[in-house]
Structure 1
Amino acid sequence: MTIDYSDYAAAKHFLAQVDEWYKSLEFTPENKIISNLQNYSHWFKYIVSSSFSVTSLYVLGNLYSSITFDELVSGPIVSLSRIAALAIVAWLVGSLVGRAIEYAIDRVQPVSCVLLNRGDERILAKWKKSNRLNFLKAMAGLAATVILNLASSWIFERLVLPN
């Protein structure tokens, strides 16, 4: 910090006061995990949507390989179009979930402020609550990704591929 001054002693005293005040402020330490997640959050949409598509294509590919020759001859285009349609739907759902995760992670911010009055305390509490909520949304989105992938695999295995 620099201060233009006309009286050296007054300026030096003022600078010492500002430095002391600045050192007395409470800063929230930056969360390294959140910081790293925010650096790569733009990839979540692509990773999640790709995982949904790959999972659905794998399951549907196994379904397609289990179809008998007579069923294949009677409707291969219908079967392939269903597989393609379900893969596209899985991509879109994965893209939406990934975008929600990205948005929630990017909304978590380190909170530091100067508490001058009672209103500032309420604002700080509101920001902390917002950060917790956004972090929980991100974790819920990640959990939803895993659960939806497992559920889709289970549904196709149990309902579409009965033994």
Structure 2
Amino acid sequence: MVYHSNESKEQFSSFDRFRGYNKSSLNPVENIHIEYNILILLPHIRDPQNYKIEIDIHSRAALINRATKQIGPGGMLFRILANQTGEIKISYVDYNVSLNFMIAIEQWFQGLRLEKESVSLRLLKKHSHHFSFLFKYISVSAFLLMNYNFVLPRFNTESIRDFMGYAIFIFGFAYVLGGCAAKIGDFVEQSVDSINPLSFVSLNRGDDKLATETRQQNRGGSISAIVGVAVAVVVNVFSSYIASYLGIK
């Protein structure tokens, strides 16, 4: 059974019938469900035993695409499903026989062409929820440290009024800087999280088109993340210039 992104499905009773599948369809495949019912007559056993094998092959690209269009729990459900590329269920009588089936199916999965996922990207996505916190407090800490080094030495002979004026400006600027840095961190987090391993089912034109869109989306996410980091650097350099300027002035 083939499930498409437009919530339609096609059922085929055999692989011969499946060869007539419409490859020109523009609706990407979300899942392929394969079901086997096998009767096996084992040695020294009079009656044949029934084994039911169910294999689901998910298109992560199609599920992630559906998740981005869903709002609320529906989107979360599709994101959870998108974490798996396949699922196997075997209803068995004899464990050893079912284990042989499982090994054969897993070897078939392992023989598929794989696209390597960057180790650094996996690490960034694992800790991306900390970006907002890190960007905010690193920027504020750097700004306050620059003020401590450049501005504070000026007040050996200055009046308390001037000191309070500078203090209000510095901490107010630090508060605004922290908010801006947190927003930049959120932007970088979303950009990194939008980069997904390219995993899809290739049956029709819609699948190929979705694969191309996913590659472009990943490229755009990488560029956005780099731009976000660059903006954060510029903001920190600007805040450092403000601190040094106050110190010189």
Instruction: Pick the TM interval, shorter chain.
Output: 0.7 to 0.9
1:90 is aligned to 177
Whose RCO is larger (CA < 8 A, sep 6+)? 1
Letter in 1 for 2:190: Y
2:157 is aligned to 69
**Is the 2:155–2:163 Cα contact (8 Å) retained in structure 1?**
no
* 1:160 equivalenced with 2:192 (yes/no): no
1:135 is aligned to 222
Q: How many residues align?
A: 155
2:39 is aligned to 7
Unmatched runs of 5 consecutive residues or more in structure 1: none
Letter in 1 for 2:141: V
Q: Rg bigger for which structure?
A: 2
Report deviation, 1:161. Answer: 3.2
**Is the 1:52–1:94 Cα contact (8 Å) retained in structure 2?**
yes
What does 1:32-47 align with in structure 2 at a 5 Å threshold? 32-47=119-134
- Bigger helix fraction: 1
In structure 1, the residue corresponding to 2:151 is in which secondary structure? helix
Q: Partners in 1 of 2:145 and 2:192 — Cα distance? A: 29
Percent identity over the alignment is 21
- Bigger strand fraction: 2
Report deviation, 1:36. Answer: 0.7
What does 1:50-129 align with in structure 2 at a 5 Å threshold? 50-61=137-148, 62-67=150-155, 69-70=157-158, 72-129=159-216
Q: Partners in 1 of 2:108 and 2:114 — Cα distance? A: 13
What does 1:140-155 align with in structure 2 at a 5 Å threshold? 140-155=227-242
TM-score by length of structure 1 reads: 0.79
**Is the 1:49–1:92 Cα contact (8 Å) retained in structure 2?**
yes
Unmatched runs of 5 consecutive residues or more in structure 2: 1-34, 42-50, 53-100
Report deviation, 1:48. Answer: 1.1
